[in-house]
Structure 1
Amino acid sequence: MLRSLWSAASGMMAQQMNLDTISNNIANINTTGFKTQSMEFKSLLYQQLKAKSTDSEGNPKPIGVQVGLGVRNSSVTAKFTQGAALDTEEKLDLFIQGNGFFAVKIGEKTAYTRNGHFGLSAVEGGWELTNSDGNPVLSTKGTPIKIDSSWDPKDISIDTAGNVLRRVDDKEAGSTKHENLGKIALYQFNNPAGLSRSGGSLYYETPASGEARSEETDTGLSKSLIKSGYLEASNVSAADEMVNMIVTQRAYQLNSKAITASDEMLEQANNLRR
């Protein structure tokens, strides 16, 4: 009886964590660049009651007798499928079509993100391309992208390769040319699911994710494209999450009923009289 109590209790704890994951997905359904997560389960140890079993005539059976001891959460896996492109009509909002990540400088560390909601922050001598928290977006040279104060930010544009361009009108020649101010860096990972999540849709490199691979220098990577004026929506499916929530609730109820049944059986056994 005690075995069934602990097995059912492990199921309730596992489903509680599963519900926590689903709730986080639903809460971030409108978060730019958010990637949905799913819970993975793993069975616990098995108790060997009989290594060999026989029938009533003593003939050996092909299997022994083992009883499972419950379940646990093994991992929370992120799914890096492409989110939908949302039209914002803001030229500094950037959408990545492909597997790339933007690089953002956070203190002494480099963080990576799919959230391309960028803007210009005032710095000494001009402006700097930053994310919504004011952290500089890195170029392929590993440095922030700066714009001189004498230039009009309205003349700045970004092409599909990530080049930050400044429009220069030649009034005498009656022509327009573009000056390249730098190229936005894009990175990929061998195992993006191994990245460490942080707040603000930021990720950090870990041994599980592997080192960041630059699309600029790594010829073995499929290059991503950047679309200006768009943002990547969350890849959370509301319908899938609602179904997962119902399944999780039912599994939690079943485990709680198993505990109730075990408790009632123990009560009956304790009340037996000779």
Structure 2
Amino acid sequence: MMRSLWTAASGMAAQQTNLDTISNNLSNINTTGYKTEAVNFKSLIYQTLQQKSYDSKGEPKPVSAQVGLGVRSSAIVSDFTQGALLESKGKFDYAIQGEGFFMVRTGDGSVGYTRNGNFNVSLTSNGMALTDSAGNPVLNTQGQPIIFPKNIDSSKLSIDMNGGFAYPDANNNARPLGIQIGLATFPNPAGLERTSDTILKETAASGTFTISQASALGSKVVSGYLEGSNVQAADEMVNMIIAQRAYEMNSKAIHASDEMLQTANNLRN
């Protein structure tokens, strides 16, 4: 009888993790570059009650007697499908149409990867640096911070769909600056480690990143747009109802087990 209590309790714990993930998706429905997450479940080990069983004629039955011991959360995976491109009024707002991640140099010196292209220009001792909203430098195709010359007007900078920057000359013709935003790709993006500010970090599971130009990936860098989250509110609400009902059914199993234990304890000779 106690087996059913612990089995149902594992189901409640797993559904609590599921609901936590759904809540996080809904809370980030308007977060730029956010990718929806989903919980994968895995059954726990099975306990063998009877290895071999026989019928009334002594013939072996085709199946053994095993009972499962519950469920657990095996992984929380991100869905990297394209989010909607939302028009923005920011001069340095960029969206990736296709695969790839923007690269930023985080405060600890490591490289972070993001789909959030809400960038700005910050003044530095070397010139004007392209940074994200937290002040982290955006990296180019060589993995170095993007620095613009000091003597240019940042409002006149333009970018093409390959991520290359240009600046008008004396005749007002756009001239390439030789500066290009780098995009990183991974063999297994699902293995990236999630951190705050929609920044992802490389892990052994994700594999080593490769820096490419947008055109090499078949992608585009779209200026004046930001990529919205790919969270679907209707889907998340349905998932929430399913998680709630599963949690409720597991709690009823615990209640039924408790009543059966109470009946057993009340038995008298």
The answer to whether the 8 A contact 1:169-1:177 is kept is no
| Structure 2 counterpart of 1:56, one-letter code | S
- Against the structure 1 CA distance between its residues 264 and 177, is the aligned structure 2 distance closer, same or farther, given a 3 Å change threshold? closer
d(CA) in 2 for partners of 1:138, 1:222: 17
Q: Which residue is equivalent to 1:215?
A: 212
Q: CA deviation at 1:150?
A: 2.0
Query: How many equivalent pairs are there?
Result: 268
| Structure 1 counterpart of 2:29, one-letter code | I
The two structures, once aligned, show a CA RMSD in angstroms of 1.5
- Runs of 4+ in structure 1 displaced over 6 angstroms? none
Normalising by structure 2, we get a TM-score of 0.96
The answer to whether the 8 A contact 1:215-1:223 is kept is no
Alignment of 1:29-48 (within 5 A): 29-48=29-48
Tell me whether 1:182 sits opposite 2:183 in the alignment: no
The answer to whether the 8 A contact 2:181-2:213 is kept is no
The answer to whether the 8 A contact 2:157-2:165 is kept is yes
Aligned-partner SS, 2:140: coil
Aligned-partner SS, 1:25: helix
Match 1:202 to one of 177, 199, 224: 199
Alignment of 1:19-34 (within 5 A): 19-34=19-34
Alignment of 1:72-111 (within 5 A): 72-107=72-107, 108-111=109-112
Aligned-pair identity in percent equals 54
Match 1:249 to one of 226, 229, 244: 244
- Point out where structure 1 has 5 or more consecutive residues left out of the alignment: none
d(CA) in 2 for partners of 1:4, 1:177: 72
Aligned-partner SS, 1:30: coil
- Point out where structure 2 has 5 or more consecutive residues left out of the alignment: none
Q: Deviations over 1:149-206 (max 9, x none)?
A: 3211111111101011112232xxxx52314151110011111010001100100100
Aligned-partner SS, 1:169: coil
Aligned-partner SS, 1:244: helix
Q: Deviations over 1:215-247 (max 9, x none)?
A: 249x9x633210000000000000000000000
d(CA) in 1 for partners of 2:217, 2:128: 32
Aligned-partner SS, 1:9: helix
**Segment drifting more, 139-148 vs 75-84:** 139-148
- Against the structure 1 CA distance between its residues 256 and 53, is the aligned structure 2 distance closer, same or farther, given a 3 Å change threshold? same
The answer to whether the 8 A contact 1:46-1:68 is kept is yes
d(CA) in 1 for partners of 2:17, 2:173: 58
- Against the structure 1 CA distance between its residues 177 and 267, is the aligned structure 2 distance closer, same or farther, given a 3 Å change threshold? closer
Q: Which residue is equivalent to 1:117?
A: 118
The answer to whether the 8 A contact 1:145-1:181 is kept is no
Normalising by structure 1, we get a TM-score of 0.94
Aligned-partner SS, 1:259: helix
Q: Which residue is equivalent to 2:254?
A: 259
| Structure 2 counterpart of 1:273, one-letter code | R
**Segment drifting more, 226-235 vs 149-158:** 149-158
